[in-house]
Amino acid sequence: NADAALYHAKSLGRNNFQFYSAEMNEKASSRLIMENALRQALEKKAFELYYQPQYDMQTRRLSGCEALIRWCHEGELIAPDQFIPLAEETGLILSIGEWVLREGCRQGAEWLSQGYDVPSVAVNVSAVQFRYEFYSTVKEVLKETGFPAERLVLEVTESTLMKDAVRARQLLMKLKLLGVQIALDDFGTGYSSLAYLKKFSLDKLKIDRAFIDGLPNDKDDKAIVGSILDVARHLGLETIAEGVETAEQAEFLTMYRCEQAQGFLFSKAIPAKDFTDLIKKNYAS
């Protein structure tokens, strides 16, 4: 593709060629700069986990949290969408992902040791991690941190499972034996059919916020969310809605017996310290 662009640029004449070429060089070098910065970020302790609370829709009590990585780079907080893809391409996601897993479990264990019963901590797992010694990493981190396996939720996406379905199925079965929970993230946005769901040892479906968005008025979103909840119920899967932003959405989900929810209506992802305050408040009430 870059070659094609160059060829095209060349055919437009010398000035254009220089223009395109400079632009492409710039892109390549800013990528390299970013890659190097990312490489150093772990050593510099420049990553931080933020936690977004999840709530039981019936009781409205805290049911867990999702750990979401942030990168503090040059005084700015960078969102994962800005650097996870590069981390995946370069393989850096292996060490970053392991750090996320360890830090999430460490924090979860700390809350427990302080007497705060945080029911679960979820971490996102990239497809790359899934392919390299993931099982032994999880096992080791649980042992090292003392975080109870049952409280750890591993979030994977449909595409992670579909890339090598046979292997993924076996890996999930092994992970289940450790006692951890498996959640299917961004459900509904991938290509997997509903029939696939029962082939994998899953505990939880996370309904993507793309479908929550149109609730409660959009007829299609209502039908889709309603069907997902039905199927999940029949398959014995827990359900959690992502990206709940309005009281009307929460009301719809409660009525349709979606079990849990997370979203800006309740809270955005917050630093561990703020999450501790939130737990304390939850206890007080």
Task: Kindly list the residues in this chain that would bind ligand C2E in the complex (CB under 6 A).
Answer: 52, 68-69, 79-81, 84, 97, 100, 124, 126, 155, 185-186, 209, 242-245, 262-264, 269
| Contact by Cβ (8 Å): 208, 242 | yes
Which positions from 170 to 199 touch Mg ion by CB under 5 A, shown as an x/- string?
---------------xx-------------
Q: How far is the CB of 206 from Mg ion (least distance, A)?
A: 5
Binding of Mg ion by 158 (CB under 5 A): no
- The three-state secondary structure class of 257 is coil
Restricting to residues 117-136, which ones interact with Mg ion according to CB under 5 A? 124
Choose from Mg ion, ligand C2E, none: what does 264 bind? Cβ within 5-8 Å by kind.
Answer: ligand C2E
What Å distances lie between residue 204 and 48, 107, 121, 185, 275, CA to CA? 26, 22, 13, 9, 23
From the list ligand C2E, Mg ion, none, partner contacted by residue 97 (C-beta under 5 to 8 A by kind):
ligand C2E
- Nearest 5 degrees, angle CA 152-CA 70-CA 180? 10
Question: Quick one: which of 186, 172, 184 has its CA closest to 138?
Answer: 172
The owner of tokens 């591993």 is 154
Q: How far is the CB of 23 from Mg ion (least distance, A)?
A: 30
Q: Pick the closer one to Mg ion by CB: 9 or 128.
A: 128
Cα separation, 232 vs 262, in Å, equals 18
> Would strands 181-187 and 121-124 be described as parallel, antiparallel, or unpaired?
unpaired
Which one, 79 or 235, has the nearer CB to ligand C2E?
A: 79
**Residues engaged in binding Mg ion (CB under 5 A):** 124, 155, 185-186, 242
